[in-house]
Amino acid sequence: MRQNPFKTLGAALLEAHEDQASLEEAIGTAGGWSSLKGLVATAAQLTDTFAADPLAHVVHGYHRFRRYAPRMLRALDICAAPVAEPLLAVSRIIAGTETTDGRPLTFLRRTSKWHRHLNGYDEHRVWEVAVLFHLRDAFRSGDIWLAHSRRYGDLKDALVPVEAARDTPRLAMPFEPETWLADRKARLSDAVCRLARAAKAGAIPGGSIEDGTLKIDRLTAAVPEEADTLVLDLYGRLPEVRVTDLLLEVDAEVGFTEAFTHLRTGAPCKDRIGLLNVLLAEGLNLGLSKMAGATNTHDFFQLSRLSRWHVESEAMARALAMVIEGQSALPMARFWGAGQSASSDGQFFPTTRQGEAMNLINAKYGHEPGLKAYTHVSDQFGPFATQTIPATVNEAPYILDGLLMTDAGQKIREQYADTGGFTDHVFAVTALLGFQFIPRIRDLPSKRLYLFDPAACPKELKGLIGGKIKERLIMTNWPDILRSVATMASGAMPPSQLLRKFASYPRQHELAVTLREIGRSNGRSSSSTGCSMPTCSAAPRSA
């Protein structure tokens, strides 16, 4: 096997240094000064190559592209979104199905690096390679697709038709983009003016804007210390009761065990005590073996049979919905809240090291593999939705699952989340569905506002402006945005699945970019101060 000369030289130098021997003799032993000189020249050449503009070298592969590209483009049934029509037109020129006198550059952005390479003697080669590179990126973003392909098919085929979207009752968005844009412009303009007046008067709750920089005051404890003593006193007044007796009493009122039907016959479980033992073992993460040892009514095989034939995720969801509905009907629940506000967060649970995989490890929680349980809790303290998700995924898409895929979630009007649930896409969808989304944003001062007319922004907020909202992009894709949101609201596809599809492309899909622009235009009102606060300027609030 051929040895690496750099490795040989480095090892010889390190060995000589440790033995305090002559470095010159070590170099001679490892190959001599001529070998070292060659290694330095090679390293310099590689460094220059990496530092150079890579587009300067792509023309070297032109002959390989030219050998198959025209035939491939003629054979493929390529379709394109409106944003990619110019690219599809120039691809037909390369395929030879259309002719033109020039080489259109309409598919290139004004800031594209390809422009600087299109003035040389091999301009036609660079142009063709640029078209093929842009076709690759368009396939990755989903802006171009193949009519009969699973992997490269049109994402929009999974969306409900426009006619069905218009009949979705949950939608809070108008069918015409002009109506929505006019309302959003008025709201955002009013919010910016109020925020500017509050900044000038020093009246922003929990913060200030100084020299164009947002500063947030440190949050204080929301619960007084005396509350701990009160909680312990209340617990001391509660009677001692067996957990199974409490579950039997709740089941007598609600009948949640009827949700656990037999997987084959559909009949409710007759062994209520055994079923409650299984549910208790699942809820405490105790396991059926230990539960069998803790009870004198059932052995392991009896509990295992009940678990295998009656307890599955859909039955759990049905039973939870029945318990939440019964709990919300209690008079005491109304003292806690109206059931229209909720918060959500993920909780990490370590798993066994057997079958450990790197994608189960999140460095935030240490070096052990695990999963997260993402739970929604209403202001009546009812956990109305729980999902098991990988420890490494973004929590934000699963907020919408809890709100749209459960009956209790659809009653929510105000949703809180921590900074892990904050994305522009969630802001957009919650606004279009009539939810008020209030996340707690950790790095709020680093966020920027986006306006329809940044030039008209008051001078007090100039330092907070990040750019202009792409109004034309929203108008162009509004029908498909309507279909996307209706698909989530109707339950045809879980919101997390659709949002993950948008995010799965190495280059963003046009609908994902449009949702981002809609999310940037979303705002909320702060009723406590009379100051309408744009999205990124909302004071953080604990979930």
Query: For every residue of 284-304, which 3-state class applies, written as one string?
Result: CCCCHHHHHHHCCCCCHHHHH
Res 193: pLDDT: 92
Q: What Å distances lie between residue 235 and 229, 230, 334, CA to CA? A: 10, 9, 21
Res 343: pLDDT: 93
Q: What Å distances lie between residue 464 and 188, 441, 467, 471, CA to CA? A: 14, 16, 9, 20
pLDDT tens for each residue of 8-29? 777 777 777 777 777 777 777 7
Residue 363 has pLDDT above 60, yes or no: no
Residue 382 has pLDDT above 50, yes or no: yes
Burial class (CB in 10 A: 0-12, 13-18, 19+), 496: buried
- Could you give the CA distance from residue 447 to residue 167 in angstroms, rounded to a whole number? 37
Q: 328, 339 in Cβ contact below 8 A?
A: yes
- Could you give the CA distance from residue 475 to residue 175 in angstroms, rounded to a whole number? 11
SS3 35: helix
Residue 207's CB is within 10 A of a number of other CB atoms, namely: 17
> Mean pLDDT over residues 289-301, rounded?
90
> Mean pLDDT over residues 317-323, rounded?
89
- Could you give the CA distance from residue 435 to residue 444 in angstroms, rounded to a whole number? 21
Q: 389, 346 in Cβ contact below 8 A?
A: yes
275: tokens are 């079923």
Q: 458, 196 in Cβ contact below 8 A?
A: yes
Reported as type and span, the H/E element at residue 209 is: strand 207-210
pTM, rounded to two decimals? 0.68
- Could you give the CA distance from residue 199 to residue 201 in angstroms, rounded to a whole number? 5
Q: 18, 11 in Cβ contact below 8 A?
A: no
Res 310: pLDDT: 92
Res 530: pLDDT: 32
Q: Where are the domains of the chain?
A: 5-50, 56-153, 177-222+320-537, 226-319
Q: What Å distances lie between residue 410 and 194, 388, 400, CA to CA? A: 31, 20, 10
Burial 43-68 (b: 16+ CB within 10 A, else e): eeeeeeeeeeeebeebbeebeebeee
- Could you give the CA distance from residue 430 to residue 436 in angstroms, rounded to a whole number? 7
Residue 325's CB is within 10 A of a number of other CB atoms, namely: 15
Res 2: pLDDT: 53
The angle at the Cα of 168, spanning 535 to 498, to the nearest 5 degrees, equals 60
DSSP designation for 150: S
SS3 468: strand
Res 444: pLDDT: 83
- Could you give the CA distance from residue 423 to residue 427 in angstroms, rounded to a whole number? 6
Reported as type and span, the H/E element at residue 145 is: strand 144-146
> Mean pLDDT over residues 294-306, rounded?
91
Please state the length of the chain.
543
> Mean pLDDT over residues 223-242, rounded?
87
- Could you give the CA distance from residue 91 to residue 84 in angstroms, rounded to a whole number? 11
Res 543: pLDDT: 32
% the chain with pLDDT above 90:
21
486: tokens are 């209706």
Q: Which residue has the tokens 């989304």?
A: 437
**Choice between 293 and 65, residue whose per-residue pLDDT is larger:** 293
The angle at the Cα of 390, spanning 389 to 391, to the nearest 5 degrees, equals 115
Sequence-distant (≥ 6) Cβ neighbours of residue 525 within 8 angstroms: 191, 532, 533
23: tokens are 């470095």
- Could you give the CA distance from residue 339 to residue 301 in angstroms, rounded to a whole number? 41
User: For all residues of the chain together, what is the average pLDDT?
Assistant: 82
- pLDDT band with cut points at 50, 70 and 90 for residue 48: low
Q: Which residue has the tokens 């459960």?
A: 406
- Could you give the CA distance from residue 196 to residue 188 in angstroms, rounded to a whole number? 12
Res 533: pLDDT: 40
Residue 357 has pLDDT above 70, yes or no: no
